[in-house]
Structure 1
Amino acid sequence: MALRLTRTRTVALVAAVLVCAVAVWIWRDPMAPLRNGLALQGWWIDLSARQVVVGDHRWVYDTREADDPAAPTVVLVHGFTGGKENWYPLATRLHDRYRLVIPDLPGWGESQRIDGADYGFKAQAARLAAFLRAIRRDGSPIVLVGHSMGGGIVAITAAEQPDLVARVALIDAAGVRFADNAFGLEVLAGRNPFAVYDAASLQRYLDTVFHDRAAQPAIPWPASKAVIDWRIAQAPFEQQVLDRIGRSNERFLPGEMAASIRQPTLLLWCRQDRVIDPSAMALYAEKIPQALQVSLDGCGHMSIMEKPDDVAAAVARLIQQGNPR
């Protein structure tokens, strides 16, 4: 009986220590449980985490090999306030047909951020080109896919680096003077329409980027509080980047550079996009007349999460248009 009580007390003590350890872990890094949950999702779809130092930044990225070693490398570039995890629904559907490389851009997610560095379109495009050279394999063409801000970065990279990029996909891409909407007008007025500082603004943010609430990621408490606190801490950086890509003299550079894109290209927009108005697709198409244009209905800015089947089919169609270089 005494032995049983001792064992019970030992188990209780170990449990208490573990609870305290987890509490300290969360207190030191409130986003840690959420990040680990996302990492588990990546593991579940066979993605492997990697790191590489390119230039002055450490890049963190997910990758998965293709069944065919000669298959194209598909590089997926996220948007403003986003991260590599935004691409997981699409990565699932692209399956093992392509080698996938999904980075956090420098300054975002788990990749390195340097105080005072420029994270605008032009600077990030130069970094992306260097990253592509670092992960490129001889004989394997690169299909470069960008969403939102990432689309603007991809447009510049593809225009400047035709030797690196065999195919281009611009999805709900920033970088052109689209028709005025509430989001764009707030940016021009110096505000951050994506700012999050409480539960109501978090929901407003999700409602802005998603058309269908059923497609929004569930963020229950206490994860929601961690996200809110984290976004509050990120506000100065977000404002800095938005000043560069939304209000500086390079805000339309992606659209200007797009006229130099000669590669096969996909332009994809959702008709209910409240961030980058769908009129942007026609503006890009004027500069890239060879582009395949795909317009989806029933989704907003996050087409890659709301309509991953359709986006995956469009990307596959782009890749299958002849043999990538």
Structure 2
Amino acid sequence: MTVTRSRAFRAAAVVLVASLLVAAAFLWRNPYALIAGDFTRQRIAAGLSKASVQIGDDRWVYAYSDATPRDAPLIVMLHGFTGSKENWFPVARRLRDRYRVVVPDLPGWGESNRIDGADYGFLAQSARVARFVEAVSPNERVVLLGHSMGGGIAAITAARHPSRVSHVGLIDAAGVRFRDNRFGIDVLAGKNPFAVHDDASLERYLDTVFFDEAAKPTIPWPADRIYIARRRQDAAFEQRVLDRIGRGDERFLPGDEAADIRQPALLLWCRQDAVIDASAMALYAQRIAQARRVLLDGCGHMSILEKPDAVAQAVIELIERGK
């Protein structure tokens, strides 16, 4: 009996060591899999599934839930600059029992593909979003929400493609000339204030986008090393996009186009937003007279992570009041 147990123990140990070596080899070849695994955990916790769709040259990867009846409104959520679909998961979790939700990685970002030399500015992304909406909801208009850069994209999409968008929500949205702050001054000077290349710049990035310390994520070792390496790898791409949406000819295009938005609309900001100053909400409101305005306190640029309950409630009111 002792010999049998000893052999079983050694066999189990061999299997465990082999498994650890396989896992180590896999992470060595694909270190970002560690972060991707946590993103999968977040998606499952939010009650979302994952799918992809090819539209022209663009492969979109998106999270979704269609557990509600087919006649429930469909909400499409667009993330911001340097963001990904995961930023929206806390809000999506709060809405998925009431509405159908689709949360994509915009082309160029996250798990969606990136094409060398392609245009990922406001206007080009808006055209892609319109095609994506048609693909995932060919027979009905959608509620389109956009955060930060995604807000600028959503504004143009709602204005230019009203047959595809029934309601629009602009959350801490880029695309207007807001009151000067450190972030805006650095962008106009040609810098990328969101650039991450070491521990200090990662901490600065998180401190810039978050106001609520309790909501600010911690990135433990070795995930922090992996994340920093990915952001360094993406630095040139980030700079090209920011040059276009932050300093290029179309940097204020979302605000200009917003004057053509006729759908029920929501403007939501955080008072302590250090990226897109809250003065931007009034500038958008001048162009979208019918928009409901919500100004939250105690949060920064990442309202969708810092105040997901309040954001979800504002979206519900946008939909229910706009019927």
> Is the 8 Å Cα contact of residues 167 and 322 (structure 2) preserved in structure 1?
no
Question: Aligned residue for 1:26?
Answer: 27
Q: Is the 8 A contact 2:46 2:90 kept in 1?
A: no
Percent of paired sites with the same residue:
60
Q: CA deviation at 1:100?
A: 0.2
Distance 2:256 2:68 in 1: 38
Q: Give the equivalent residue in structure 2 for 1:272.
A: 272
Classify the secondary structure of the residue corresponding to 2:6: helix
Q: For 1:238 and 1:272, locate their aligned partners in 2 and report how far apart those are by CA, in whole Å.
A: 24
- Pair 1:14-2:15 in alignment: yes
Q: Distance in 2 between matches of 1:200 and 1:256?
A: 37
2:307 is equivalent to residue 310 of structure 1:
no
> Secondary structure of the equivalent of 1:214?
coil
Q: What is the SS of the residue equivalent to 2:268? A: strand
Q: How far is 1:218 from its partner? A: 2.1
Alignment TM-score, normalising by the size of structure 1 = 0.97
Match for 2:155: what amino acid? A
Q: Aligned letter for 2:110?
A: G
User: Please, which moves more after superposition, 213-222 or 274-283?
Assistant: 213-222
TM-score in terms of structure 2 length? 0.98
Deviations 1:260-305 (A, max 9, x none): 0010100000000000011100110111111101000000000001
Task: Look up the equivalent residue of 1:147 and give its one-letter code.
Answer: H
After superposition, the C-alpha distances for 1:143-162 in whole angstroms (9 at most, x for unaligned) are 00000000000000000000
**2:133 corresponds to which residue?**
132
| Cα-to-partner distance string for 1:95-127 (whole Å, 9 max, x where unaligned) | 311000000000000001011101000000000
- 2:56 corresponding residue in structure 1: 55
> Displacement of 1:137 after TM fit?
4.6
SS at match of 1:289: coil
Q: Deviations over 1:33-60 (max 9, x none)?
A: 1111111221122211000001210000
Which whole-Å CA distance do the structure 2 matches of 1:32 and 1:178 have between them? 38
Q: Distance in 1 between matches of 2:178 and 2:46?
A: 36
1:116 equivalent to 2:117? Answer yes
* Alpha-carbon distance in 1 for matches of 2:210, 2:73: 30
Counterpart CA distance in 2 for 1:209 and 1:133 is: 32
Mapped to 1, the partners of 2:152 and 2:224 lie a distance apart of: 30
> Displacement of 1:66 after TM fit?
4.1
Contact 2:141 2:163 in 1 (8 A): no
Q: What amino acid maps onto 2:152 in structure 1?
A: G
Gaps of 5+ in 1: none
Q: State the distance in 1 between where 2:273 and 2:45 align.
A: 30
- Secondary structure of the residue aligned to 2:214 is helix
Contact 2:272–2:298 (8 Å) recurs in 1: yes
Partner of 2:150: 150
2:112 is aligned with 1:100:
no
Q: Do the aligned residues in 1 keep the contact of 2:264 with 2:322 (CA within 8 Å)?
A: no
- Amino acid across the alignment from 2:174: A
Match of 2:237 in 1: 237
CA drift of 1:197 comes to: 1.0
2:252 corresponding residue in structure 1: 252
Count of residue correspondences: 322
The residue correspondences of 1:288-307 to structure 2 (distance < 5 A) are 288-307=288-307
Equivalent pair of 2:271/2:300 in contact (CA under 8 Å): yes
CA distance in 2, matches of 1:6, 1:35: 37
